[in-house]
């Protein structure tokens, strides 16, 4: 999508072959694209507004699902075997860090093609999981959802290759032999073959129902060679972008059969138009642990905004990336902290233990990293009512959680140029720090009045402001709209019910923070919650309508008043 001089428009190529777009990169006055196809179907759609285009795009290509609330919480990666992971999760609970899901990617099960055994994070080794069901049951009892690793790749040197190969379920060469990637020594399941999909569905049933996992990461899916032959008669060239769509849809359908209540999460790496209907969230893939480049920290926000405009609303950043770069230990620590700040203001907060052979940064490295993660986790956990309300809107409109500034400020020419800041829904403007050594951040504020979320200072928009940017876990520079209603969660330990009595589960109670207004700001505002509850600030009182279930609401008014009330009916006024 882009903005013409008079009105925005959408350009879509309706084929699955590989495409390359050049949007004024080679020549400032020219856009061009190439596609490995004999013909192309191009569809142009005009506004009238960018929001209208995003919604129209969702209507055409498919609306995203509404994931369960725990997807939008805090996730922690933990590897090293059953005993190690259980011990680490107990420590998280003892420290009262509000983590709702654990990603244990080294828990291998060949029958389900589950897990990644090659742990390459220095100081960690893949460990044994002697009783997978007891493992997931233990973590569920502590109030964690448990995620694992899934892939379309089948490694020739692993036991799970034999069965799909013997049934003819793998992608083939033109001569009928199994197509094996020469460098990686993997083959791929053929998702165009209905029998292969049935076999895959049984593997998912084992993973989610028998072993008790709650979903996981769907890695890879983008390597199909152009000269491959698929079961439906198409070539790899014709299915370049169709294969990851089939991969996502097959996984989603299989998980939905195993969990008809929708209580699962699938994180996609690859995907094409339409795949947003078969995923719980998208992540940045194998980013590199560096600041610059097309895969470093500075590439994250532009990628997120592009995903959001293209119909994928639940993007998140994997903290510090995956691939080791050449930074010093101190420089990498700074990068890790800045990446953590960004991730805490995305759809979900998730760390990872990537390919790092030296002395990598981790939550547990020292008191500084632990405290930063705890602070970031607490901030993100508090945002869940707001984030889940945005997700409910996304499932109906396609509007992303992380928004290009022009989505919310379409009449501001500067908003069309900003690529390193974003709106988190309509109420927040977030400006991550992406430069090494920075102690301040200069931020462009669109027209209106804005409140520094951390310090309370009110600024007039339409200008740049420079604010402190401390290197800790509190968050990046964040500004809220003056007068905005911000629904937050009170302190809790998990979004998942636990068997352990001392684990506090979020029950739906709210802390409603109303931001102050300056002399020209609006003193009235409204907000629609994920469950249909309508919040309205009149400038003096908070009106609550259509509240569907009992909950406690605490109002934090702009004048400093704090008023709390238990709601047992559909409406109330807090004054």
Which residues of the chain have a pLDDT value below 50? 1-5
Query: Angle at which helices 329-343 and 367-382 pack, to 10 degrees?
Result: 10
Question: DSSP characters for 363-407?
Answer: TTSSHHHHHHHHHHHHHHHHTHHHHHHHHHHHHHH---SEE-HHH
pLDDT of residue 574: 97
Q: Output the six-digit token pair for 420.
A: 């390193």
The 10s digit of each residue's pLDDT in 408-450 is 999 999 999 999 999 999 999 999 999 999 999 999 999 999 9
The 10s digit of each residue's pLDDT in 177-204 is 999 999 999 999 999 999 999 999 999 9
Q: How far apart are CA 180 and CA 196, in angstroms?
A: 17
Q: How many CB atoms lie within 10 A of CB 29?
A: 5
Instruction: Report the chain's mean pLDDT, rounded to a whole number.
Output: 95
Instruction: Give the chain's length.
Output: 575
Find residue 350's DSSP bridge partners: 75, 318
Task: Starting at the earlier edge strand, list the strands of the sheet with 2-3.
Answer: 2-3, 8-13, 42-46
Residues in CB range of 231: below 8 A, 6 or more apart? 190, 192, 193, 196
> What's the predicted TM-score (pTM) here?
0.97
Q: Which residue bears the tokens 């983008």?
A: 222
Q: How far apart are CA 547 and CA 536, in angstroms?
A: 12
| Burial group, residue 175, by CB count within 10 angstroms (0-12, 13-18, 19+) | exposed
Q: How far apart are CA 512 and CA 535, in angstroms?
A: 9
Q: Measuring CA to CA, which residue among 91, 92, 89, 84 is closest to residue 127?
A: 84
Q: What single-letter DSSP state applies at residue 415?
A: G
The helix, strand and coil proportions of the chain, stated in percent and rounded to the nearest 5, come to 25, 25, 50
pLDDT of residue 2: 45
At residue 459, the 3 state secondary structure works out as strand
Left, alpha or beta for 276 (phi > 0: left; psi -120 to 50: alpha)? alpha
């Amino acid at each position: 999508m882009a903005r013409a001089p008079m009105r925005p428009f959408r350009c879509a190529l309706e084929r699955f072959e590989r495409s390359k777009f050049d949007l004024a990169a080679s020549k400032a006055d020219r856009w061009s694209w190439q596609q490995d196809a004999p013909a192309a179907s191009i569809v142009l759609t005009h506004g009238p507004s960018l929001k209208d285009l995003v919604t129209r795009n969702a209507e055409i290509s498919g609306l995203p699902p509404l994931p369960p609330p725990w997807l939008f919480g805090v996730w922690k990666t933990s590897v090293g075997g059953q005993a190690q992971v259980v011990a680490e999760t107990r420590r998280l609970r003892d420290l009262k860090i509000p983590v709702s899901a654990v990603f244990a990617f080294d828990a291998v099960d060949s029958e389900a093609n589950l897990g990644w055994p090659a742990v390459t994070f220095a100081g960690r080794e893949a460990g044994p999981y002697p009783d997978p069901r007891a493992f997931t049951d233990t973590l569920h009892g502590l109030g964690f959802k448990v995620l694992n690793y899934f892939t379309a790749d089948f490694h020739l040197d692993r036991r799970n290759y034999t069965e799909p190969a013997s049934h003819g379920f793998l992608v083939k060469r033109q001569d009928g032999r199994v197509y094996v990637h020469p460098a990686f020594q993997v083959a791929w399941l053929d998702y165009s073959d209905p029998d292969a999909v049935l076999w895959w569905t049984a593997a998912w049933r084992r993973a989610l129902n028998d072993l008790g996992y709650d979903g996981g990461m769907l890695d890879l899916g983008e390597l199909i060679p152009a000269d491959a032959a698929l079961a439906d008669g198409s070539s790899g060239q014709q299915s370049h972008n169709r294969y990851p769509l089939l991969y996502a849809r097959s996984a989603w359908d299989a998980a939905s059969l195993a969990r008809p209540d929708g209580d699962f999460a699938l994180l996609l790496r690859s995907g094409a138009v339409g795949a947003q209907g078969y995923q719980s969230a998208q992540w940045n893939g194998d980013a590199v642990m560096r600041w610059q480049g097309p895969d470093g920290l500075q590439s994250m926000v532009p990628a997120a905004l592009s995903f959001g405009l293209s119909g994928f609303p639940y993007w998140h950043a994997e903290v510090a990336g995956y691939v080791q770069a050449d930074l010093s230990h101190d420089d990498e620590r700074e990068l890790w902290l800045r990446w953590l700040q960004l991730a805490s203001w995305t759809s979900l907060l998730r760390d990872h233990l990537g390919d790092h052979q030296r002395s990598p940064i981790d939550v547990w490295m020292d008191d500084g990293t632990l405290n930063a993660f705890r602070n970031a986790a607490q901030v993100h956990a508090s945002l869940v009512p707001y984030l889940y309300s945005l997700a409910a809107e996304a499932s109906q409109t396609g509007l992303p959680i992380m928004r290009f500034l022009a989505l919310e400020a379409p009449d501001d020419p500067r908003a069309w140029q900003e690529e390193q800041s974003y709106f988190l829904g309509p109420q927040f403007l977030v400006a991550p720090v992406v430069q090494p050594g920075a102690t301040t951040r200069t931020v462009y504020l669109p027209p209106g009045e804005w409140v520094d979320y951390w310090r309370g200072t009110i600024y007039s928009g339409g200008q740049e402001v420079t604010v402190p940017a401390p290197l800790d876990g509190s968050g990046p520079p964040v500004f809220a709209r003056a007068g905005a209603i911000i629904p937050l969660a009170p302190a809790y330990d998990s979004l998942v019910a636990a068997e352990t009595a001392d684990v506090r589960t979020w029950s739906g109670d709210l802390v409603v923070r109303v931001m102050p207004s300056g002399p020209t700001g609006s003193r009235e505002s409204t907000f629609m919650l994920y469950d249909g509850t309508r919040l309205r600030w009149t400038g003096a009182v908070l009106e609550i309508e259509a509240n569907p279930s009992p909950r406690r609401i605490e109002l934090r008014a702009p004048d400093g008043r704090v008023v709390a009330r238990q709601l047992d009916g559909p409406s109330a006024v807090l004054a």
